[in-house]
Structure 1
Amino acid sequence: MTERLRVTWVQPEDLLGHELRQASEDGRDATAQAATWHASGGPPSPPRAGASSPPPPPALRALALTLLDELAKLPQPLADREPTPLPAITQACGNTWPKPPHGSDNDTPPATPPHADASAFRLSGASEPASSDDHPPPTTAPRSAPHTPEGTTTPPPPRANAAGSRRSGTPEPVWEPPGPDHHPSAAKPTENPPGPDGHAPLTTAPRASAARPTGNPSGASEPASSDHHPPPTTAPRSAPHAPEGATTPPPPRASVGGSRGSGGPPPVSGRGGAGEQTPLSTHQSHAAWLGRAAGCLLGKPVEKLELPAIRALARATGNWPLNTWFTARGVPAELAAAHPWNRRSAGNSLAENIDGMPEDDDLNYPLLNVLLLQRYGRDFRTSDVALLWLDQLPAGRTFTAERVAYRNLLSGIEPPDTARHHNPFREWIGAAIRADVHGWTHPGDPASAAAQAHRDATLTHTANGVYSAMFVAGTIAAAGGGADVHASLRAGLSVVPPRSRLAQAVRRAIRLARAHTDFDTVVDQLHDAHGHYHWVHAVPNAALLAAALTHADGDFTGSICRAVSGGWDTDSNGATAGSVAGLLAGHPDRLPERWTAPLKNRLATSVVGFDGIGFDELARLTQEALRP
């Protein structure tokens, strides 16, 4: 008897279980379909894997296909609150949608998202894809400024110590400082709604003109922490509703071995940003790439593990609060057996065996989006994303919503239907891990970054899945434009419909991070609130990301360690937190060497023609792609 092939993330019987779960989350009444499925012996969705076992009989698979079609026709109660088309999103955001920088060519979003049409999208035009499957101020003296590329005007700051560094300087804020810690109810809209965190609508300042850097970054191989932070503007933690303008110094950080939650208490000063609105330099891009890789690599060995397992494994080696790479050395055998490391990452992502950056979709997609901009420019269409994938991305390196959309493309289904047809993963995290480049493309312009991310995301995602990408792109664009981490997060929220589940979850997460010095407490409350979602869903992961960045105040080590220590999609959250914090740092030499040296300036990837590429070269290619 021939053994049956079980391809993950596309089997109808597995998609059906996930779609029933999705229906319970988006408010559709799927009682009848669930009863039919369970009465016929249909299994629930696999809790953590991509396919159930054993495979079902043919009749059950046929029933799954029928029920998937029925579920797609059910009324969508949240459709008005959680639209997918860009014009409807901007309308839902109202006057919180950020104003473009003066002189921007992207003053308004397109009237309709430029999806493919029948004449523009032809599968026959795509070539066959290749196959594969806590932190004191720095005490060291400033380094001599290395050679910088032509047009670069700011020398790098001193290198951080191993635990990171604080930054100095008080750049002009790009966004208005926050008022009191007031958070409006998202239950009903207002004619002129407040900003996403209860503040005035965000506006951007004019960009200063600057020459673009050219060539490779010179003398920049490892990163550290960023160098600028504006004066504290948030209210004291003990009095969250204090009068506007009240300030307080940040509380003392816990020691690495202290009793506080992962990473210690959160400072409130709001570090980050280079204080300028200029196109990203190669150094900034390099720091963001390195940050993304380090954060991803930190989270890889514990991906798919439950939160108690992550905490137990780290505590067993004295690494809690989480402060460095995970290691198997010193883990008791019975604990290791009960909570095995991620099987694909155990051999290349622990402290004892890291040798460069191993392949991960959290790095593949940003690389693909650099190629997207090189090939099609910033005005790319959703169909262009599809054609690039078919040309450059092996199908076996796609997962969840991306794999379903890939299958739909090969079946002749065109965007944006590729995101909807038999795709129960359309509100998961996949679009968010592709969004960094869209923020890098538009420093200081979160609206344009979000619109660009929307065109990418709608190939594979809808509603909250799309919002997660827009949130990340808006946050990164603000950070690249000089905002600190808190203003950056507000910018990210400004492009998300305020009544959506994702916006509500992110606002609550930020409040929790401001209210508690123990990050474990923050995480526990997030899991209590959002534990009913799948661990890859966009809503809980966006909330955790926002909480981690807020609590760490933009510090690099604190950001990635908090993001990973919170569980759920550990490598993706670590990657995005590292990208934001690396960009806030602004230069590779501002990131702790202990995070970047193991990367060895080498990325493994199955994106055709780029295996082994260096992060310095990725930064150079990113800069080339950003040129008009």
Structure 2
Amino acid sequence: MRLSWVQPEDLLSHELVTARDLGKDVSKVTWRWLDAGGSLTAGSSGASATPATPELHALAEKLMAALDEQPMPVRPGEPDDFAGVKALWRNVPRQQPRHDLERLHAAWVGRAAGCVLGKPVEKIPREGIREILQSSGQWPLTGYIAGDSVPDEVTRRWPWNRRSAPTSLAEPLAAGVSDGMPEDDDLNYTLIALRLVERCGPGFTADDVAQAWLDELPGGRVFTAERIAYRNLLLGHTPPETALRGNPFREWIGAQIRTDLYGWIHPGRPDLAAECAYRDASVSHVRAGIYGAMWVAAMSSAALTADNIDDVLDAGESVVPPVSRFANAIMDGRDLATRGDSWEGVVDEIYARYGKRHWVHVLPNAALVAAALEYHGGDFAASVCAVVSAGCDTDSNGATVGAITAALAGAVPDHWAAPLRDTLRTSIPGSDKVTFTELAERTMKVST
């Protein structure tokens, strides 16, 4: 078996893009790699088109090390330290904490429902998702995706996510195949964050996060930046070095999917939620990758106390460096949604601006999340269906949008919640088949 997301010949093509984005000079490395027969083409599953020869493996390892040795240039408006980010904050909203168990429960269930919706079509591009739905009379999407009505020739052209389809399509959900929300890394991280806060309190450190991963997170259930950071931890490195060594995914979406819980324990305090998110994200990410984590944590905090989606989006923007690439992406998404005549037109424009990036990169995904929330006014069903139909990281975006809109509403419609049986299946030791009711109560206990 050839493990993906860690082979140097696969990582280098991604690293050349990331290093350039962060201001490094990649020209000499690029030409040396191409001259040796390497490829700049990287696949969706982590493998590149470069032949896996011992010579190219060794060269890629050497070139990755050379890029690691280059210091990351200062980028105006994009601080690397929390104090620098915080110094740029303006008008971060603060509300009196309102501990609402119904909203917390809705947030947990909404995150699960949105994740399940996107799981079967994860890795399928937008055009494939649309063909699947149109061919089976499910366009526009209004509920969990049914598989039985999709023509065979369409699923041959656009295969379901092999791991998720058997448990996450409408039919196995209705049949109770998983007896709850199927296991997924998006919810694993939320549970680990809860257990971390229960053990260490809200003042946990990045080292505490790293130790929690080593203690509780199965190595086979980490991907992209988290897989690299996990490997770096096993090699004896500590945060933030774990985010920097051989990690071309440090501005991808991974940290953005881990931080809802920090908002839920700080209702009405986006500033405190964002600070927790920064510490967590620094284990595996930098800059835009960290800003995405802070953005989601702040919105998750506001969603428990706000009355409308604009206040939630404002809270998220308030903790992000205002002239950063990440801020541009979320403001683009929101602005396009405000001015767009149709959801598909909004998505077309987001892809025109950000679609050349990998489908797991944080920028296109954050733009889609912001746009879906704004365009559909925070409505749960419309928002999760829209963001999943738009492609990119479908299960992660569905989870984020589902959690925020459900918390804002204080409930998840029964036809979305019922198939999940108020139960979370997880690969975290000792926590399989925990109920969302229990998780909400435990979250309430550690809330500030």
TM-score category, normalised to shorter length: over 0.9
Q: Which residue of 1 aligns with 2:240?
A: 416
Name the CA distance, whole Å, in 2 between partners of 1:40 and 1:364.
41
1:204 aligns with 2:97: no
After TM superposition, give the deviation of residue 483 of structure 1 in Å. 4.3
For residue 372 of structure 1, the aligned residue among 188, 196, 199 is 196
Query: Is the Cα–Cα contact under 8 Å of residues 289 and 615 in structure 1 kept in the other structure?
Result: yes
Name the CA distance, whole Å, in 2 between partners of 1:330 and 1:376.
48
Which residue identity does 1:410 align to in structure 2?
A: L
| Cα offsets for 1:250-304 (capped at 9, x unmatched) | xxxxxxxxxxxxxxxxxxxxxxxxxxx412x222111000000000000001100
After TM superposition, give the deviation of residue 76 of structure 1 in Å. 4.3
Q: Which residue of 2 aligns with 1:84?
A: 80
Which residue identity does 2:417 align to in structure 1?
A: T
Report SS of the residue matched to 2:434: coil
Q: Which residue of 2 aligns with 1:556?
A: 380
Name the CA distance, whole Å, in 1 between partners of 2:25 and 2:271.
35
For residue 278 of structure 1, the aligned residue among 82, 86, 98 is 98
Query: Is the Cα–Cα contact under 8 Å of residues 445 and 481 in structure 1 kept in the other structure?
Result: no
After TM superposition, give the deviation of residue 77 of structure 1 in Å. 5.0
Q: Which residue of 1 aligns with 2:155?
A: 336
Name the CA distance, whole Å, in 2 between partners of 1:622 and 1:76.
38
1:8 aligns with 2:4: yes
Name the CA distance, whole Å, in 2 between partners of 1:622 and 1:8.
35
Percent identical pairs in the alignment equals 47
Name the CA distance, whole Å, in 1 between partners of 2:33 and 2:137.
47
Query: Is the Cα–Cα contact under 8 Å of residues 13 and 48 in structure 2 kept in the other structure?
Result: no
Change (3 A) 1:527 1:593: same
Report SS of the residue matched to 1:80: coil
Runs of 4+ in 1 over 6 A off after TM superposition: none
Query: Is the Cα–Cα contact under 8 Å of residues 10 and 50 in structure 2 kept in the other structure?
Result: no
Q: Which residue of 1 aligns with 2:63?
A: 67
Name the CA distance, whole Å, in 2 between partners of 1:294 and 1:488.
20
Which residue identity does 1:23 align to in structure 2?
A: A
For residue 315 of structure 1, the aligned residue among 134, 142, 151 is 134
Which residue identity does 1:394 align to in structure 2?
A: P
Q: Which residue of 2 aligns with 1:624?
A: 445
Name the CA distance, whole Å, in 1 between partners of 2:245 and 2:126.
32
Report SS of the residue matched to 2:254: coil
For residue 294 of structure 2, the aligned residue among 446, 470, 474 is 470
Name the CA distance, whole Å, in 1 between partners of 2:299 and 2:191.
19
Query: Is the Cα–Cα contact under 8 Å of residues 39 and 49 in structure 2 kept in the other structure?
Result: no
After TM superposition, give the deviation of residue 609 of structure 1 in Å. 0.4
For residue 279 of structure 2, the aligned residue among 438, 448, 455 is 455
After TM superposition, give the deviation of residue 370 of structure 1 in Å. 0.4
1:363 aligns with 2:187: yes
Q: Which residue of 1 aligns with 2:216?
A: 392
Query: Is the Cα–Cα contact under 8 Å of residues 41 and 49 in structure 2 kept in the other structure?
Result: no
Q: Which residue of 1 aligns with 2:407?
A: 583
After TM superposition, give the deviation of residue 52 of structure 1 in Å. 4.3
Report SS of the residue matched to 1:69: helix
Q: Which has the higher helix share?
A: 2
Query: Is the Cα–Cα contact under 8 Å of residues 14 and 45 in structure 1 kept in the other structure?
Result: no
1:164-243 to structure 2, matched below 5 A, reads 203-205=93-95, 207=96
After TM superposition, give the deviation of residue 346 of structure 1 in Å. 1.5
| Cα offsets for 1:521-542 (capped at 9, x unmatched) | 1011101110111100111111
After TM superposition, give the deviation of residue 46 of structure 1 in Å. 2.8
Which residue identity does 1:601 align to in structure 2?
A: D
After TM superposition, give the deviation of residue 27 of structure 1 in Å. 3.6
Q: Which residue of 1 aligns with 2:430?
A: 609
After TM superposition, give the deviation of residue 500 of structure 1 in Å. 0.9
Name the CA distance, whole Å, in 2 between partners of 1:602 and 1:51.
35
Query: Is the Cα–Cα contact under 8 Å of residues 90 and 97 in structure 1 kept in the other structure?
Result: no
1:23-62 to structure 2, matched below 5 A, reads 23-52=19-48, 56-62=52-58
Query: Is the Cα–Cα contact under 8 Å of residues 253 and 360 in structure 2 kept in the other structure?
Result: yes
| Cα offsets for 1:174-203 (capped at 9, x unmatched) | xxxxxxxxxxxxxxxxxxxxxxxxxxxxx4
